[in-house]
Amino acid sequence: MTLNTVLAFAHQVMKAAIKEGDTAVDATCGNGHDTQFLSNLVGETGHVYGFDIQNTAITSTEAKLTAQQSNRVTLIQDSHEEVRRYIKQEHTRLLKGAIFNLGYLPGSDKTVVTTPASTLTALEHLLELLQPGGVVVLVVYHGHAGGDEEKDQLLGYVQTLNQRSFHVLQYAFINQKNTPPFVIAIEKRK
């Protein structure tokens, strides 16, 4: 396919914003794929903070990282709402990107899902902490119970962000069946 898939688009945005030495946040580690991707973008001198409330997600993320990658990754088993408590000041000054994969962890307990209140709180905090030119990307899976509500609240919120401060876009395939995921990307303006 010539058009980027939703996941490829999400990665392209992160790649454009995050450079060697920067700080990045994976707000929902899940299987660890994005934590690993971010650890490669920030390189040896950067830092990644990965959050997940489930121990199984933290464990599989840990297992995915090489020893070298682990050196620059801090994994935190806590809600992403608490992000401000964990990011060190010297890293906040370099925070250029954050990613969320919403919904449930495939192959795991489908009742453990991201929720509107905590997703929105985490997003607000991350947008505050983010450096100018930085991005927050959300891959919005919404086919599960409660997914619609989260999607609606999120879209409602991001549409209110002031255009003088943020560029906000939605990337979605609009002819696909079965509630495919889509991306919301938010860039903090310089």
Q: In angstroms, what is the minimal distance from the CB of 108 to ligand SAH?
A: 7
Q: What ranges make up the beta strands (E) of the chain?
A: 23-26, 47-51, 73-76, 95-101, 135-140, 166-171, 182-188
Window contacting ligand SAH (CB under 6 A); options: 11-19, 41-49, 52-60, 169-177 = 52-60
Closest CA to 173 of 162, 182, 164, 165: 182
Q: In angstroms, what is the minimal distance from the CB of 57 to ligand SAH?
A: 4
Q: In angstroms, what is the minimal distance from the CB of 139 to ligand SAH?
A: 7
- 23 vs 114 by CB, closer to ligand SAH: 114
Task: Give the Cα separation of 56 and 62 in Å (integer).
Answer: 10
Residue from the set 57, 95, 138, 184 that interacts with ligand SAH by CB under 6 A = 57
Binding mask 105-124 for ligand SAH (x = CB under 6 A): xx-----x-x---x------
User: Could you say which residues in the range 60-89 bind ligand SAH, by CB under 6 A?
Assistant: 79-80
Distances in Å between the Cα of 104 and the Cα atoms of 14, 43, 110, 178 are 22, 29, 5, 16
Closest CA to 40 of 6, 73, 83, 10: 73
Residues 101 and 75 sit within 8 Å (Cβ to Cβ): no
Q: In angstroms, what is the minimal distance from the CB of 9 to ligand SAH?
A: 14
Task: Give the Cα separation of 5 and 1 in Å (integer).
Answer: 8
- 35 vs 101 by CB, closer to ligand SAH: 101
97 counts as binding ligand SAH under rule CB under 6 A: no
Window contacting ligand SAH (CB under 6 A); options: 49-57, 63-71, 129-137, 149-157 = 49-57
What phi-psi label fits residue 146: left (phi over 0), alpha (psi between -120 and 50 degrees) or beta? left
Residue from the set 4, 5, 40, 53 that interacts with ligand SAH by CB under 6 A = 53
Residues 97 and 14 sit within 8 Å (Cβ to Cβ): yes
Residue from the set 4, 12, 54, 153 that interacts with ligand SAH by CB under 6 A = 54
Residue from the set 32, 50, 97, 103 that interacts with ligand SAH by CB under 6 A = 103
